[in-house]
Amino acid sequence: MNVGLVTIGEFASFNIAIIVYFLGVRLNKAVPVLNRYNIPEPVSGGLLVATLALIYYLVTGSEIGFSLQARDFLLLYFFTAIGLNARFSDLAKGGKPLLILLVLTVGYMFVQNGIGTGIALAMGLPVGFGLLGGTISLVGGHGTAIAWGPTLAGEYGVSGAVEIGAATATLGLIAASLLGGPVADVLINRRGGKPSKFAQDETPVIGLEHEDQSTAVVTHTELMRSLLWLNIAIGMGAGLKESLSVGVGLDLPLFVVCLFCGILLSNSLPLVFTKMTWPARSRSLAVISELALGIFLTMSLMSLQLWTIAGLAGPMLIILVAQVVGAGLFIIYVLFPVMGRDYEAAVLGAGFAGFALGATPTAIANMTAVTKQYGAAARAFLILPLVSAFFVDLTNAAIIWLFLGG
């Protein structure tokens, strides 16, 4: 076999992602179990393409790579839209649930690392190996795994830590995409988390429900208005991020800063300019959010290099299976009851599965798939990104150091 790399350009990658998204839509219609368990269309199509790329690699020895610059910008659109849709009244209502979710998340991070390190030590492996199967690669994702890899390899005796961490994060992302929907189904249909009539009637904050699209009218003026304010908020976010980084040394993810700028704009300008038509919770903004999230997640899933998973050692696969089971049990028996045993708690359960094993966009995609079928859950979409994309990053490093012995 001739080992090589086939790189697909930016324009082609973007349009392939759109095709793959529609492929996922067709798959979900052709295989009813996918819709039944709320598997997002980008996951269905993206994993199929990733599997085909794996087969191509096994046959030819060549890797297929996609250019993903557009994906990162779509992430900004998506989270900025969450900010524009947020109201301080929602934030006030979400204050207590936000705090509860934060406490549950931090507690679960200890549980996740406890599972990983416990199994690793039982097998005679270093603590660092267990942490790679814990919050470093799962809650932390690819970036955290790559960042911690050299330290674990050089100082804590975990050979191949970078490669193991990246492969673990990849498999975790797949598990996160597939676990959220079935967990939500259990919570909604077997645990009493059915939506109220209000949730079913409410306009979705993110995404559009399954409906006859011929009745959904969005004008070009509305789309341009929504795009303009999204771009203004993103521009403000970029400037604020730079100021925070240079001025106080606080380096926040750009999409988190853009989310906050969206919240700031949406809760100030409409109060001053009362006659202004504001895009918050409009169908046009929902369309842009759906497009951004759909293509972002499609590009993320179809670009997974599944052949890297083959390098995972047997002990790590055992840890990952335990983590999936642990996440499901935690959501059903701890998070759902504590968060209120209602529909919002069920949607949060789907989202929690997404970021506990994968990433925040996966969490939002899981929740979107559920709300398309059952109805809106505005509070869940507001509080989960704040916890998963902001507070978790601040606490994860401290928890990792604690498990490593400081």
pLDDT in tens, 265-300: 999 999 999 888 999 888 899 889 889 989 998 998
pTM, rounded to two decimals: 0.79
- The residues near 125 (Cβ < 8 Å, ≥ 6 apart) are 315
Of all residues in the chain, the percent with pLDDT exceeding 90 is: 52
CA distances to 136, 344, 359, 392 from 139, in Å: 7, 22, 7, 8
Rounded CA-CA distance 96/65 in Å is: 44
Q: Which tops the pLDDT comparison, 377 or 185?
A: 185
Task: Say if residues 139 and 112 touch (Cβ distance below 8 Å).
Answer: yes
Question: Token pair for residue 64?
Answer: 């297929």
Which residue pairs, CB below 8 angstroms and at least 24 apart, start in 98-101?
98/383, 98/386, 98/387, 100/338, 100/339, 101/335, 101/339, 101/348, 101/383, 101/384, 101/387
Helices (H), 267-376: 269-272, 283-302, 314-330, 336-338, 343-357, 360-374
pLDDT digits (tens, 9 = 90+) for 151-184: 899 888 888 888 898 889 999 999 999 999 999 9
Rounded to an integer, the average pLDDT of 95-119 is 94
Phi, psi of 180 (to 5 degrees): -60, -45
Rounded to an integer, the average pLDDT of 141-156 is 86
- Counts of helices then strands in the chain (DSSP H, E): 20, 2
Q: How high is the pLDDT of residue 307?
A: 87
**4-403: CATH number:** 1.20.1530
Burial zone of 87 (CB within 10 Å; 0-12 exposed, 13-18 middle, 19+ buried): middle
H or E segment to which residue 231 belongs: helix 220-248
Q: How high is the pLDDT of residue 21?
A: 96
Domain residue spans of the chain: 4-403
Of all residues in the chain, the percent with pLDDT exceeding 70 is: 92
pLDDT digits (tens, 9 = 90+) for 216-235: 578 899 999 999 999 999 99
Rounded to an integer, the average pLDDT of 335-342 is 95
Q: How confident is the model at residue 212 (pLDDT cuts 50, 70, 90)?
A: very low
- The mean pLDDT value of the chain amounts to 87
Task: Say if residues 374 and 200 touch (Cβ distance below 8 Å).
Answer: yes
Rounded CA-CA distance 227/238 in Å is: 16
Rounded CA-CA distance 34/161 in Å is: 34
Rounded CA-CA distance 183/404 in Å is: 32
Rounded CA-CA distance 184/171 in Å is: 21
Q: How high is the pLDDT of residue 216?
A: 59
Task: Say if residues 278 and 270 touch (Cβ distance below 8 Å).
Answer: yes
Q: How high is the pLDDT of residue 210?
A: 44
Nearest to 290 by CA among 391, 369, 348: 369
- The residues near 94 (Cβ < 8 Å, ≥ 6 apart) are 379, 382, 383
Rounded CA-CA distance 51/259 in Å is: 34
Rounded CA-CA distance 69/227 in Å is: 19
Q: How high is the pLDDT of residue 374?
A: 87
Q: How high is the pLDDT of residue 259?
A: 84
Task: Say if residues 361 and 293 touch (Cβ distance below 8 Å).
Answer: yes
pLDDT score of 207 more than 90: no
H or E segment to which residue 127 belongs: helix 127-132
The HSE-up count of residue 402 (CA atoms within 13 Å, CB side) is: 10
Q: How confident is the model at residue 28 (pLDDT cuts 50, 70, 90)?
A: very high
pLDDT score of 123 more than 50: yes
Q: Which tops the pLDDT comparison, 251 or 259?
A: 259
Q: How high is the pLDDT of residue 3?
A: 60
Q: Which tops the pLDDT comparison, 203 or 316?
A: 316
Question: Token pair for residue 238?
Answer: 């970029």
Instruction: Give the number of other Cβ atoms within 10 Å of residue 323's Cβ.
Output: 25
Q: If you count them, how many residues does the chain have?
A: 406
Q: How high is the pLDDT of residue 17?
A: 96
H or E segment to which residue 64 belongs: strand 62-66
Burial zone of 177 (CB within 10 Å; 0-12 exposed, 13-18 middle, 19+ buried): buried
pLDDT score of 1 more than 50: no
pLDDT score of 2 more than 70: no
Question: Token pair for residue 230?
Answer: 């999204």
pLDDT score of 377 more than 90: no
Rounded CA-CA distance 400/406 in Å is: 8
Q: How confident is the model at residue 387 (pLDDT cuts 50, 70, 90)?
A: confident
- The residues near 195 (Cβ < 8 Å, ≥ 6 apart) are 188, 343, 374, 375, 377
